[in-house]
Amino acid sequence: EKGGYEHYMRKEIHEQPQSLRQTIAGRLDVDGGDVDLDVSLSEEQLQSLDEIEFVACGTSYYAGLYAARLFETLADVRASVTIASEYDFGGGRDPWRTLTVAVTQSGETADTLSAIRAAKQAGAQTLAVTNTLGSTVTREVDDSVFIRAGPEIGVAATKTFASQVATLALLAVYVGRRRNALRAGRASTLLENLRALPGAVQQVLDNEPVVEELADTYADSEAFFFIGRELAYPVALEGALKLKEISYDHAEGFAAGELKHGPLALVTEETPVLASLTDGSRAEKTHSNVKEVQARGAPVIAAASADGDGTRPAVDEQLPVPNIGLVEPLAANVYWQLFAYHVAANKGRPIDKPRNLAKSVTVE
C-alpha cells in the first residue's frame, strides 16, 4: 500500500506531480485567462468585498499566508490570515463585506471549525478549501472548494500543502477576474505557471539524491534556520515545521529581513541556513541576508531560480528551481520536504507517526 516506499510521507512527497495535476484538471482556461471553479459566490458579492480572511492551523495556516499575498497581488483585495485558535471576528469591520475562508486538509480540525463558526455568527460569508468531501467543515460553510490531492496518511502534510496553495491561487484568479482587478494576460501567465508546476516539482524530485546527501551531512547540526521573503516566507515556516515535526530537531523559519532584529544571535557554524531565492520572494534582497549568516560561519543551502542572476552569492549547495513565476516557492518547498524527510530517516524516527501528534486534531 506504500507502493514500495518505506514511509507514506515519502510516497506522498513523490505523488505531488500527480496530485497537483488532479488539483488543476479541468480548472484552467489558460488562453482565456480565467479559471473554471465551481463556486456559488456571485460577481456582485465578490465586487463588494472589503476583505478576505483565512483561518487555519499548522501547515494550512502557512498555505493561507501564501494565499493572502497572492490575493492582495492578483485580486486587489485586503487579505489577512489568522491562526484559527487565535481567531475572533474583531471590531471595525463589516461582516457583510468579509469572506472568511477556512483552509483545512481534513475538514475536521476543531480550532478551524470554531473559528469558522464565529465568523458565520458575526455575519461573514464563509468558504472552505479542503481535501475531504463530506467533512464537518463542508457542512458548516456557505460553499466549498476541493483541493483534490487524494488521501494523505502521513501526519506531516506534504502534497496537501501544495494542492492547497495551487487551489487558492486558482481562487485568487477567479476572484481577481470577477472584481475586474486582474487582466486576462496576467492571469494567463499565472495559469501557465500552474500548468508547469507538476513538471517542475518532478524536476525537484529528480534531485532527491543530492538532498539526501545534504541531509546526511547536516543531520547532527545544532539547529536549522529557514529564511525567505514574501511568498517564500510561508515556505520558510513550513520547511521548519516539517523538520521539527518529524526529526525532533530545533528548526525555525524566519522572514529573511528579521534576522538582524534578533535571530542572527543564534547563527553559528553549527546552524545551517536554508534559503529560498525564487521568484515572488525578492531574492536579491535575501542575498544580503545570506551574506550575513555566512559571515557568522553558517553553511547555506539555497533553493534558487534556475535563471537567477549572476550576482547571487556563492553558497554551500545550490538547488535549482525551474522558472515558474509566482509558484516557484512551492517547488522550492519540495526540496525542504525531502530535506526534512531524510534528516528524520537518518535518525530512524517514526516518520509517519511522530510522537505526540495526530493527523487530525479534533480537540481545541
Active site residues: 359
Count of chain residues binding ligand M6R (CB under 6 A): 16
Q: 301: part of which helix (H) or strand (E)?
A: strand 300-305
Q: How far is the CB of 205 from ligand M6R (least distance, A)?
A: 19
Residues 54-73 that bind ligand M6R (CB under 6 A): 57-60
Q: How far is the CB of 56 from ligand M6R (least distance, A)?
A: 6
Q: Which stretch binds ligand M6R (CB under 6 A): 98-106, 173-181, 255-263, 333-341?
A: 98-106
Handedness of CA 215, 229, 282, 147 (dihedral sign): positive
Q: How far is the CB of 310 from ligand M6R (least distance, A)?
A: 37
Backbone angles phi, psi at 226, to 5 degrees: -110, 135
Distance CA 234, CA 255 (A): 9
Q: Could you please report the per-residue DSSP string of 155-185?
A: SS--HHHHHHHHHHHHHHHHHHHHTT-S-HH
Range list of H helices, 207-327: 208-218, 232-247, 283-295
Closest CA to 19 of 126, 149, 107: 149
Q: Which residue is nearest to ligand M6R (CB)?
A: 58
Could you tell me if 158 and 9 are in contact, meaning their C-beta atoms sit under 8 angstroms apart?
yes
Residues 244-273 that bind ligand M6R (CB under 6 A): 245
Question: Judged by CB under 6 A, does residue 351 bind ligand M6R?
Answer: no
Q: Which stretch binds ligand M6R (CB under 6 A): 101-109, 141-149, 195-203, 250-258?
A: 101-109
Could you tell me if 319 and 267 are in contact, meaning their C-beta atoms sit under 8 angstroms apart?
no
| Residue nearer to ligand M6R on the CB measure, 47 or 362 | 362
Cell matching residue 48:
463588494
Question: Judged by CB under 6 A, does residue 100 bind ligand M6R?
Answer: no
Q: Which SS3 state, helix, strand or coil, does residue 198 take?
A: helix
Cell matching residue 67:
494565499
Q: Mask: binding to ligand M6R, 135-164, rule CB under 6 A, as x and -?
A: --------------------xxx-------
Question: Judged by CB under 6 A, does residue 85 bind ligand M6R?
Answer: no
Q: How far is the CB of 152 from ligand M6R (least distance, A)?
A: 9
| Residue nearer to ligand M6R on the CB measure, 240 or 277 | 240
Interface residue list for ligand M6R (CB under 6 A): 57-60, 104-106, 109, 112, 155-157, 241, 245, 360-361
